[in-house]
Structure 1
Amino acid sequence: MEALAVRLSGFDSQVEGAIRVIMFYDTLMRRRVDLPALARASAGLAECVAGIRLHGTGQAIRMTPDGRQAPAPPPPASGTAPIVLDAEEIGTVWLERPGPPGPLDEAVLDRLAIAAAAVAERYGPAGTTMADPALVELVICSDSDEAARARALRLLGFSAGLPVRVAAVRSQLPLDQVGSLVCPARPVKAALLADVGVLLTTAIDPALFPAGVRAGIGAAGSPDRSWRQARTALRFTTRCRPVVHHDDLGALALLAHVPQDTARDNPDVAAIARLAGTPEDLETLDAYCATGALRRAADVLHLHHSSVARRLEQIGRTLGFELTEPTGLMRARLALTAWRLLDD
């Protein structure tokens, strides 16, 4: 390659420069550099600030020619190039040269983009929790073809063949914080889609969700199926049961598919709707249905069991059946669950 560069230099110095740029990046790739090292070397070659950003992380790496991180805020780029992997744009590279672009900037950007794609494919995205929502949506969408889903999973850092589990989350806490808490030793990617947070991971511990967070967890396997299960499980969460695994719902999951008009017309569900006008009664019924025992419900409510017994007796009259009987408890649980699923 060097002999070819010397021979071509006699014809065109620009050709020699472009070939030397190619040789420079070939050497970097043989050394298996990471993205910061790639940006640092590119800045030294171009003698100006060089930057790299992957869409999957959103984090920009900007290096000065002397090898330090460039100060913020960045000036406008003098030249940019897309990072493309498997025909999809996964990021951007750029140079921040004062004044007009240099004669070899186009060649530098072209080779920098190719090298960045190779590094991203080799090492995966940086160790961050938040991810590009478009990539996450591509993973969980039922309309995605398997090739596109596999590429998106790889760009998000998931190895091929690993079963992915999806959780649907509603939380006032930052989603990346929730993801780091529930998956401390596993890769996890998070994104907010509309009003629901999405967590992608290979394993998740339901017991690690922090207080105040509601989450539905799908089964490991196909991400689009796991997402549908997670959304369904999220609808079944309550104050007493803030985290629900779809596998634990069993036949109760069928209630999510009952037409809402049918549910509203049911006498038991209509009675729960009337009861909802008294939050104290609804809270008592919720605690009793969740625990299945008067004294345990009293513990949850921090009340004496005789007070809870009086409330349940009054609630039973409102509903029209005896709550302390097994059949009555089952009817109350089903009606309360069906009512919660309305308009959810």
Structure 2
Amino acid sequence: MEALAVRLSHLDAEAEGAIRVVMFYDTLMRRRVDLPALARASAGLAECVVGIRLHGTGRTVRASPDGREVSAPSSPASSSVPITLDDEEIGTVWLERPGPPGPLDEAVLDRLAIAAAAVAERYGPARTTMADPALVELVISSGSDEAARARALRLLGFGPDLPVRVVAVRSRLPLDRIGALLCPARPVKAAPLRDVGVVLATTVDTDRLPPEVRAGIGAAKSPDRSWQQARTALRFTTPGRPVVRYDALGALALLAEIPRNAVRDNADIAAVGCVAGHAEDLATLEAYCATGSLRRAADVLHLHHSSVARRLEQIGKTLGFDLTESAGLTRATLALTAWRLLDG
């Protein structure tokens, strides 16, 4: 220690200050402080407002030199440094110094960024359902390599030993509420992605979903494949079948891979489009295809079976084949399903 003290005595003031900054943050990291404590200590050291933001959670912490959390609108950052973890930018730290930068500001920010990355890795993301869409897209993108996907999952709060299920959702309900309903007691993250909501969950309980929520559930272990499956399953949802699991589709999933032009040009599907112009006829066709029985369809529609029989006869004339025959029911079911996929 004496030798170290002698060496330090020969350093100039700026170099000595930089070493003290390093020692200051080493002490904080040994004490395993959280983000607010890290911000407060840094603000006291820098003698100005300090800010920390994590992209994955959207959380921002700002502290003043007196140790208080600052909630007022932030002043322009006088200097900033990205927080990186495993070569990926996960946030930003900054100083809000009213005057020119101090001689040790760069050293403070560098060590603060390293400490913030360690805190983020140690404590994980905040327990919120909504997540950064960029991180979620990194998880489900087919263009992501496995290392990047693993880092994104870790930043979202999913451990390497946890299974991740992917759900594609359309609903007027907030995504965070849907995520909480699907997976109330285990890690779950949600984010909007273009026209669809994405939910990443360790378990999926669809019985808790309100009937107005449309959800497609992927089956693959890999999140990118599971996302494609979830999108496909979502296309098969209907008002009467609002939740569809990809693995329950079986061979029907192949219909989603048929080019749209080929579907549009098919005579059976075009005929279903004509039937769909009449709400009662469409409801009758859907009930009959779903139940495979005239009497069960009548029960679903709350009609006498003779009334349903007359409707099916008229629908059969529009379609050009007999719905009461086994082959006719199969054709109608496939045509109706493909028409719904085309209609979106």
TM-score after normalising by structure 1: 0.91
Partner of 1:106: 106
Tell me the distance in 1 between the aligned counterparts of 2:246 and 2:264: 24
Q: Distance in 2 between matches of 1:169 and 1:283?
A: 24
Show the counterpart of 2:33: 33
8 Å contact from structure 1 (residues 5, 16) kept in 2: no
Which residue in the other structure is 1:157 paired with?
A: 157
Distance 1:327 1:210, change over 3 A: same
Identify if the C-alpha distance between structure 1 residues 114 and 332 changes in structure 2 by more than 3 Å, giving closer, same or farther: same
Deviation at 1:201, TM superposition (A): 1.7
Distance 2:45 2:325 in 1: 80
Deviation, structure 1 residue 5: 6.2
Q: How many angstroms apart in 1 are the aligned matches of 2:293 and 2:99?
A: 76
Aligned to 2:89: 89
Amino acid corresponding to residue 120 of structure 1 in structure 2 = A
Amino acid at match of 1:338: A
Alpha-carbon distance in 1 for matches of 2:254, 2:14:
69
How far the C-alpha of 1:102 sits from its partner, in A, is 2.6
Corresponding letter in the other structure for 1:54: L
CA drift at 1:341:
1.5
Is the Cα–Cα contact under 8 Å of residues 5 and 20 in structure 1 kept in the other structure?
no
| Cα distance change, pair 42–290 in 1 and its aligned pair in 2 (3 A) | farther
Cα distance between partner residues in 1 of 2:241 and 2:18: 63
**SS of residue matched to 1:342:** helix
Describe the superposition over 1:64-90 as per-residue Cα deviations: whole angstroms up to 9, x where unpaired: 333332123212112211001111111
How far apart in 2 are the matches of 1:62 and 1:303? 65
- On the 8 A contact 1:6/1:16 being kept in 2, the answer is no
Superposition deviation, residue 195 in structure 1:
0.9
**Deviation at residue 7 of structure 1 after TM alignment:** 4.5
Alignment partner, residue 130 of structure 1: 130
Q: In 2, are the aligned partners of 1:164 and 1:220 still within 8 Å (CA)?
A: no
Distance 1:237 1:17 in 2: 64
Q: Deviations over 1:21-72 (max 9, x none)?
A: 2112111111212222222222232232221111111121222333332123
Answer with 322-331 or 245-254: which moved more: 322-331
Are positions 1:12 and 2:22 aligned together? no
Q: Deviations over 1:119-160 (max 9, x none)?
A: 112222111222222222221111221111111211221111
Q: What is the percent sequence identity of the aligned residues? A: 78
Shift of 1:193: 1.7
SS at match of 1:50: strand
Residues 49-58 or 260-269, more deviating: 260-269
Q: 1:186 aligned to 2:191? A: no
Partner of 2:225: 225
- Bigger shift: residues 32-41 or 224-233: 32-41
Letter in 2 for 1:88: E
Whole-angstrom CA distance in 1 between matches of 2:73 and 2:327: 66
Alignment correspondent of 2:322: 322
Alpha-carbon deviation of 1:338? 0.8
Q: 1:282 and 1:108, CA in 2 relative to 1: closer, same or farther beyond 3 A?
A: same
Q: Which runs of 5+ in 2 are unaligned?
A: none
Question: Which stretch shows the higher mean deviation, 275-284 or 306-315?
Answer: 306-315
Contact 1:281/1:315, CA 8 A, preserved across alignment: yes
Structure 1 position 274 matched with structure 2 position 274: yes
Could you tell me whether the CA contact under 8 Å between 1:240 and 1:287 is conserved in 2? no
Could you list the runs of 5+ residues in structure 1 that have no partner in the other structure?
A: none
Residue type at the aligned position of 1:207: D
Report how many aligned residue pairs link the two structures.
344
CA gap of 1:5–1:43, structure 2 versus 1, over 3 A, is: farther
2-side partners of 1:63 and 1:299: how far apart?
65
Separation in structure 2 between the aligned mates of residue 140 and residue 121 of structure 1, nearest angstrom: 21
CA contact (8 A) 2:181 2:205 kept: no
Aligned to 1:262: 262
Residue equivalent to 2:175:
175
Q: Where does 1:46-65 land on structure 2 (aligned, <5 Å)?
A: 46-65=46-65
Q: Which moved more, 1:1-10 or 1:206-215?
A: 1-10
1:218 CA displacement: 0.4
Secondary structure of 2:21's match?
helix
CA distance in 1, matches of 2:32, 2:312: 69
Distance 2:216 2:162 in 1: 21
State the Cα distance separating 1:184 from its structure 2 match.
0.7
Which aligned segments of 4 or more residues in structure 1 are displaced greater than 6 angstroms?
Answer: none
Structure 1: distance between partners of 2:192 and 2:260: 27
Q: What SS class does the counterpart of residue 143 from structure 2 fall into?
A: coil
Query: 1:112: how far off?
Result: 0.8
CA distance in 1, matches of 2:190, 2:164: 13
Q: CA 1:185–1:291 in structure 2 vs 1: closer, same or farther (change >3 Å)?
A: farther
Q: Is the 8 A contact 2:182 2:203 kept in 1?
A: no
